[in-house]
Amino acid sequence: MPRTTTASNKGKDESVRVVVRCRPMSDKEQESGCERAVDIDVQRRQMSIRRPTGESSQRSSDDTIHNFFFDAVYDWNSQQKNVYEQTARPLVDSVLEGFNGTIFAYGQTGTGKTFTMEGIRSQVELRGIIPSSFTHIFDSISHTTSRQFLVRASYLEIYNESIRDLLSRDQNKRLQLQEHPKEGVHVHDLSSFITKNIQEIEHVMTTGNLNRSTGATNMNEHSSRSHAIFIITVESSEIGMDGKAHIRVGKLNLVDLAGSERQAKTGSTVKF
């Protein structure tokens, strides 16, 4: 079950939303006769986990079902578009207004994190949060006449506590976190590319994906064994009532995390 968390910073107010999405059973799970142990109540925003029938007889009835409540829940029939519109769109709107936000999916390997975040870009109905945010940002810019925009994209990977710039020509170089008096904590020397449309920002992401560390695991043949963060910085300039230009800067961090399970469980072999 991938958990998508969104956080935005508006002045002194900070909010975090935790959203749960449960994927459908795979063909292998269905063929093996696996039993679904999760129930989703979308209206109540509740997820219930019950013990498989083979184990319930060994437990008391009060210990059979555990209920959890979240900001939103999505079952195995949920659509990519609905997840984006209800969960991510408000945060991306705030980034366009000059606030910072982060969206990430958390869960074990094979739970659908990458599908939720990226999906299948070539099919509109299967596009995930990241490509949907690209369309959202540039569509909003094209319909805004009162402000001038500049969109920049960066892409980094964190693996074994090392930071690598996925857009750098030198993939052996490791970057360092530094603290700047004005910018705060940032990755020193991380490259940034100006993108003017959806095609350009998708090209930046495709280039970075080719440099990601992946590897086969017991749980997923093409698992991402690293954390990847795609950073979109949106700067806008608007002439105020005083006749001066007022600058807003919003940053959107789109994160695809590695599986949350222990590496020993996955039997992973990593490829760079």
107 annotated as ligand-binding: yes
114 annotated as ligand-binding: yes
109 annotated as ligand-binding: yes
112 annotated as ligand-binding: yes
C-beta contacts of 65-70 below 8 A and 24+ residues apart:
68/20, 69/44, 69/45, 70/18, 70/19, 70/20, 70/45, 70/46
For residues 114 and 129, the answer to whether their CB atoms sit within 8 Å is no
Taking the C-alpha atoms of residue 46 and residue 272, their distance in angstroms, rounded to an integer, is 40
**Which of these, 38, 42, 40, 41, lies nearest to 51 by C-alpha position?**
38
87 annotated as ligand-binding: no
259 annotated as ligand-binding: no
Taking the C-alpha atoms of residue 108 and residue 34, their distance in angstroms, rounded to an integer, is 18
| Binding site listing for ATP | 107-114
| Binding site listing | 107-114
